[in-house]
Structure 1
Amino acid sequence: MVSKYCYEALDKCLGDIMRCSPTYSKDLPFGGKVVVLGGDFRQILSVIPRGSRQDIVHSTVNSSYLWKFCQVLKLTKNMRFSVGTTTSNQDETEQFGEWLLKVGDGLIGDNMDSESEICLPRDIVIPSSD
């Protein structure tokens, strides 16, 4: 995740560039240009040295003035799991993908003080060899 200040700087730069355009509107973000952002909000947050949890959350794009202009789209098919799978293990692969999404959404595990303990299914655990 990139700090919201990077997006806000891009917004101001594109606004300055597009100001000379006849289609420019100061009310539109990014100078009226469509900007596509990609990412997963369940992944790593931006790093704020010696920052508190509040500082880190406040630096994300969804706490920016630009967020009201964003439209969040969700992918419905995990393409990583569709590559190299055969029809015999397609169901198993789809179940694993659904399990991963549930872990990412926080639907699996015991939530204790913002930390979760997740039990892994036996079929994905590699036993240790001593």
Structure 2
Amino acid sequence: MEKTFGGKTVLLGGDFWQTLPVVPKGSREDVGGASINMSPIWDHCHVFVLKQNMRIKDSSSFREWVLAIIDGKLPTSRLEEEEESSWIKIPYDLLIPPGENPIQNIVASTYPNLLTKYID
């Protein structure tokens, strides 16, 4: 009898809302239908749910914005050549301002005080 993944344990991590598959020119329904939880192998998976999202724990405006996206409560817009409205405006206070060293800006924003707190 064949076993899923050849009987090997496979760990898949992530938030399916943030790691959706790419379906060229696909609609929202097409993207949702291509996600792993719609696959025949999904019946062979054991799902473990984290109780606390550490990435959004301390940022209430970001948390509320992400939850509003997931719930479909934010207005969307479309580009002229697109049929479906799927663009969401990111609030200015959630953007990292551009600068001379964009990588350093991202690291500094994501990990404030990294050099003084990396041991903690």
Q: TM-score, normalised by structure 2?
A: 0.47
Which of structures 1 and 2 has the bigger CA Rg? 1
Higher relative contact order (CA 8 A, sep 6+): 1
Identify the structure with the greater strand proportion.
Answer: 1
Q: TM-score, normalised by structure 1?
A: 0.44
